[in-house]
């Protein structure tokens, strides 16, 4: 993937990893469009990064996604990179499940990127050099029991990304999976940068961008701190990792 002279759309770009990626790519001279539900959050990012654009997007509405893609490609015809980053995480008690929570997580985390990709792909295929980057999670490989549906959606997104890469062989569209560890974002309460269990956004983005500079770009972006989870099955550490994650709780 080339790191300059792109027009990049980032969902969930108003905070956390999405904002970090947006600012990193913007600093390299790319044209960046951030999208999300909260206009005030998007405005904070664009105000701090003159020249960056923003558009609101409701990932839960299939019709809104189609209209959004039509508008964004009209306003930014050189759009050639999609970063599917938006996601939500909610703790769940499967002994007394709240199905509405599970449905919301699946809609945003899995159907959202699938729908955006499907709507935007015809445009990306027409670009001379393009890319789709899906942000999954180390929890795609070892589930976090307190967030079972979140973990399941990330596992599904990983599988979808692998298949998408096969389907797009021989096309101008490169497919990359970004696999974060626990990062100090506002995804859930208590993700403080001072908590040693969480990687700071700044450190995570810096290491991720360094890997993206590799030629050729790896199919997966695995920073050092996520490798324990990513390769737990292969290294025989799955049960150990699962037990570690099983001891962690989250407040709602």
Instruction: Count CB atoms within 10 A of the CB of residue 246.
Output: 12
Residue 187 backbone phi and psi in degrees, to 5: -60, -40
Q: Write out the H or E segment, with its range, that includes residue 36.
A: strand 31-36
Cα dihedral 36, 183, 118, 3 in deg (nearest 10): 90
User: Which one of the listed residues 68, 141, 144, 150 is annotated catalytic?
Assistant: 150
Contact 132, 174 (CB under 8 A): yes
Distance CA 145, CA 200 (A): 23
Residue 204 falls in the annotated catalytic set: no
Contact 225, 234 (CB under 8 A): no
Q: Indicate which residues carry an active-site annotation.
A: 150
């Amino acid at each position: 993937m080339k790191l300059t002279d792109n027009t990049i759309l980032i969902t969930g770009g108003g905070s956390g990893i999405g904002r970090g990626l947006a600012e990193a790519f913007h600093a390299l001279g790319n044209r960046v469009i951030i999208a999300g539900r909260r206009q005030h959050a998007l405005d904070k990012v664009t105000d701090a990064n003159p020249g960056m654009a923003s558009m609101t997007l409701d990932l839960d509405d299939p019709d809104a996604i189609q209209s959004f893609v039509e508008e964004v490609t009209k306003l930014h015809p050189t759009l050639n990179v999609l970063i599917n980053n938006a996601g939500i995480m909610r703790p769940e008690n499967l002994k007394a499940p709240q199905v509405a929570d599970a449905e919301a997580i699946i809609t945003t985390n899995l159907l959202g990127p699938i729908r955006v990709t499907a709507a935007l792909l015809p445009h990306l295929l027409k670009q001379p050099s393009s890319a789709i980057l899906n942000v999954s999670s180390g929890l795609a490989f070892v589930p976090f029991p307190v967030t079972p549906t979140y973990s399941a959606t990330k596992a599904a997104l990983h599988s979808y990304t692998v298949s998408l890469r096969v389907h797009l062989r021989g096309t101008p569209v490169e497919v990359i999976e970004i696999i974060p560890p626990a990062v100090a974002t506002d995804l859930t309460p208590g993700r403080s940068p001072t908590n040693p269990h969480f990687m700071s956004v700044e450190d995570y983005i810096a290491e991720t961008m360094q890997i993206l500079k590799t030629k050729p770009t790896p199919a997966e972006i695995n920073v050092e701190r996520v490798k324990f989870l990513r390769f737990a099955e292969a290294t025989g550490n799955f049960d150990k990792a699962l037990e570690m994650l099983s001891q962690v709780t989250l407040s709602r």
